Amino acid sequence: MKKFTQVYQSSVLIIGALSLMVMCWYQRREINTLKEENVKVKFESESLQGGDITKTQTIDSLQKRCDSLYDELFPAQIELGRYQVAYEIFSQRNPKAASQYGDIISNETE
């Protein structure tokens, strides 16, 4: 084994270096194609008709809609949290009834 490594050491190093170069070249090519696709997607998604004022109005409208939806969802999230805490307390006090209630919710109300 020692003789083999001494004889072919330079050949193995050259083959290894060439292999790394080829792998780097393929990876670089793949990265460039992904970047080009990303730029195309960004350009298509950002191309709103009109000028800066129209874009700003559209963004403001979307932000208001998002805020409105959040405001509508917040009380429902609080109520859901209350029900979850109540169910945990109920399962500690009466595990059998809580199990039956869980079965009803998961199987009979779909």
Q: What does the pLDDT read at residue 43?
A: 58
Mean pLDDT of 48-66: 76
Mean pLDDT of 11-24: 77
Mean pLDDT of 60-69: 85
Report residue 96's pLDDT band, with 50, 70 and 90 as the boundaries: very high
Q: What does the pLDDT read at residue 92?
A: 92
Instruction: Label each residue of the chain as H, E or C.
Output: CHHHHHHHHHHHHHHHHHHHHHHHHHHHHHHHHHHHHHHHHHHHHHCCCCCHHHHHHHHHHHHHHHHHHHHHHHHHHHHHHHHHHHHHHHHHHCHHHHHHHHHHHHHHCC
Mean pLDDT of 92-105: 88
Q: What does the pLDDT read at residue 1?
A: 64
Domain spans in the chain, listed from the N-terminal domain onward? 1-47, 51-110
Q: How far apart are the C-alpha atoms of 42 and 21, rounded to whole Å?
A: 31
By the 8 A CB rule, do 101 and 87 touch? yes
Mean pLDDT of 63-78: 86
Q: What does the pLDDT read at residue 26?
A: 80
Q: What does the pLDDT read at residue 42?
A: 61
What is the C-alpha radius of gyration for the chain, rounded to an integer number of angstroms? 31
